[in-house]
Amino acid sequence: MIPMSRYSYCRILVTEITVEETRRLLGSLFDGVFERNTLTVGAMEIEVRRNPDAQSGGVKADDFVRWPVQIETEPVTPHGETTAVETVSRILESLWGAQAQAVAACDFEDELPWKGGIQRLRIPMTAEAPCNRSGAGDMPQPLAWGRVVQEG
C-alpha cells in the first residue's frame, strides 16, 4: 500500500459530456482501453463512472459536486504520485478541449491549470477577460457563471 500524500487522490467532476464519451476521450488521449470503469495509465489508475451525487435533470453550472460524470485518479505505485499533476492536467485540458466543463477536487489543485478548473467557472464572460491558465495573478471578480472559450 502506498503511503498517503497530497498526490494520492483526485476527483474530477464533469458535465456536458457522458460517461461513455468521457471514457472514449480518455482512452484515446492515453492510448488505452478501459476495463470495466478503469483505465491504467503507467502508474496511475483512472476510473470514470456516473457521479453518485449527481441529480436528475439540470443543475446549476457552478454546482459542480452534482455534475453527472466523476473521474477519480489514484497512483498504483509511488511513481504514480510523481505524475499525478501531469496526468490530471492532461485529463482536464482534454475535457475542456472537448467543450466539457470539468473541475478537479484534490490537494494539488493549485498546481493544475485554472486551479483545477474552478477559475474557469468564475471568469467574467466578456471579451476583455484575461486568459490566465496558471491560476497565478489577480483574477477579476465573477460577473457570470458559464463556459470560457479559450483561444490559442
Residue 30 lies in a domain: yes
What pLDDT is stored for residue 141 in this prediction?
32
In a domain, 60, yes or no: yes
For Cα atoms 26, 46, 56, give the angle at the middle one, nearest 5 degrees: 80
Cα–Cα distance measured from residue 145 to residue 124, given in angstroms and rounded to the nearest whole number: 7
Q: In terms of residue numbers, what domain contains 20?
A: 10-112
Q: Is residue 127 part of a domain?
A: no
CATH code at position 15: 3.30.1370.80
Counting the structural domains of the chain, the total is 1
pLDDT score at 63 = 82
User: Do the domain assignments include residue 74?
Assistant: yes
Check residue 29 and give its pLDDT.
98
Residue 23 CA to residue 60 CA, distance in Å, equals 24
CA dihedral 108, 104, 73, 71 (to 10 degrees): 180
In 60-120, at which residue ranges do the beta strands (DSSP E only) sit? 69-75, 101-106
Contact 76, 9 (CB under 8 A): no
DSSP single-letter state for residue 114: G
CA 89 to centroid of chain Cα atoms: 7
Residue 117 lies in a domain: no
Cα-Cα-Cα-Cα dihedral of 75, 81, 85, 89, to 10°? -20
Residue 70 lies in a domain: yes
Residue 83 lies in a domain: yes
**Residue 30: its pLDDT value, please?**
98
CA distance 34 to 56: 26
- Nearest Cα residue to 46 out of 55, 34, 62: 34
Q: What separation in angstroms does the CA of 29 have from each of 42, 115, 141?
A: 13, 21, 34
Q: What is the pTM of this model?
A: 0.78
Model pLDDT, residue 147: 43
Query: Cell numbers 491549470 label which residue?
Result: 113
Per-residue pLDDT for the chain (152 aa), expressed as one digit of tens each? Answer: 566 789 999 999 999 999 999 999 999 999 999 999 999 999 999 999 999 998 776 666 668 999 999 999 999 988 888 999 999 999 999 999 999 999 999 999 999 999 999 888 765 544 444 444 444 433 333 333 344 444 44
